[in-house]
Amino acid sequence: MRFVAKQPKEGINVSDTHPLVEAGTLVAGLTAIFVVIALALIFMIEVAMYFVSAEDEAKLFDNWLPDDLITVSPDDDRLSEAQLLVDRLVGHWPDAPYEFRVEIDDSEISNAMALPGGLIIVTQGLLDQVESENELAFVLGHELGHFKNRDHFRALGRGIVLSVFFAAVTGGDVASIGIKAADITLRGFSRRQETRADEFGLLVVQSEYGHVDEAWRLFERWNVDDSRLIDFAAYLSTHPEPRDRIEDMKRHAEREGWPVEGDISPLDW
C-alpha cells in the first residue's frame, strides 16, 4: 500500500483571533515583563546600595559629572559664590563625608538637585529668581539634607535602571546617568524625605545666620505669582507644593524656637 501525503487544510497556521488583538496581547505582555524586570532590578540595586557607605560613594563619584550637563562658564561669579556658600553651610555639618561641588546648569528652568558623590546642581533659572543669600542658602541646605539622609543615593538605583532602559530604547550610551534621567528619578522622593530635607535645610540656615528669615520667601513668591509657573514647574515637579511646604517649615521653626526675623544678607552678584 502506498502512502499518499494529504495536503493540510488551508489556513491551518492562522489563528481565529484577529491579528491586531494578538499584537496587542503581545505588546501588553512584553510591557508587563519589562516593568516587572525593571522593578526587580531597582529593588536589587537599592538593596545592594544600602551597603555602600557615603565614603565609598564619594570615592566612586569623585569628579563625576552627568554627560548631558551644560554648565555656565567656570569664571561665572555665581559659581564661586554658590560654592563658597555651600562650604560655609557645610561647616555646620562637621563630619560630612562628602566634598561638596556646586555646578550651575545653563538652563532657564528653575531647579536644584543632589547627585551622587556630593554634586549639587542649581540651574541658572533658579539663581535668577533668588533675591537674597538667605533664600539661596535654604535651597542649598535642602539639597544638603538629601545627602545627609542619602535620599539621592537610593534614588540612583532607579536612575541606573532608567538610563539602561532609555539607552535600550533610544540606542544611546549606557555608560552614564544623564541629567535628564536624574531629573526624572528625583521626582520619586517621598513627601517624608522632602520634609526631612527641609528640616535639615532650616537647621543649617539657622546655624549660619542665627535665624531662618527668608528661608521660604522664594516659595512664598512662587505660591502667589502664577505668571512664574512656567519657570519653576521643574523645581515643583521634584519638590512639594509651596503652600504645604511653607506651613510645615513655619511650624518646624516654631517648634525649635528659631527666630523668623533677622538681618538679610544680599547676594554678591
Which cell numbers in the block locate residue 234? 521643574
- The site string for Zn ion over 138-177 (x = CB under 5 A, - otherwise) reads ----------------------------------------
What are 115's strand-pairing partners? 119
Residue type, 177: I
CB 238 within 8 Å of CB 114: no
Site size toward Zn ion (CB under 5 A) is 2
User: CB-based contacts of 247: which residues, under 8 Å, 6+ apart?
Assistant: none
Of the candidates 151, 259, 257, the residue with the CA atom closest to the CA atom of residue 195: 151
Report d(CA 176, CA 96) in Å as an integer: 26
Shortest Cβ distance from residue 194 to Zn ion (Å)? 5
CB of 150 to Zn ion, least distance (A): 13
Q: How far is the CB of 244 from Zn ion (least distance, A)?
A: 13
Q: Which is nearer to Zn ion, 194 or 208 (CB)?
A: 194
> What SS3 class is residue 255?
helix
Site for Zn ion in 197-256 (CB under 5 A): 197
Closer residue to Zn ion (CB): 191 or 228 = 191
Taking the complex as a whole, the smallest distance from the CB of residue 177 to Zn ion amounts, in Å, to 18
Nearest to Zn ion of 113, 161 (CB atom): 113
x/- site string to Zn ion, residues 174 to 203, per CB under 5 A? --------------------x--x------
In the complex, least distance from residue 232 CB atom to Zn ion, rounded to whole angstroms: 14
Closest distance of CB 142 from Zn ion, Å: 6
Residue number, 200 or 209, with CB nearest to Zn ion:
200
Name residues whose C-beta falls within 8 Å of residue 140's C-beta, 6 or more positions apart in sequence: 82, 85, 86, 89, 102, 112, 120, 122, 201
Q: Quote the least distance from Cβ 222 to Zn ion, whole Å.
A: 15
Residue 76 or 217 having the CB closest to Zn ion = 217
- DSSP letter string over 128-188? HH--SHHHHHHHHHHHHHHHHHTHHHHHHHHHHHHHHHHHHHH----SS--HHHHHHHHTT
Q: Which residue, 61 or 189, has its beta carbon nearer to Zn ion?
A: 189
75 secondary structure, DSSP code: T
Whichever of 61 and 235 has its CB closer to Zn ion, that residue is 235
Applying CB under 5 A, which residues contact Zn ion? 194, 197
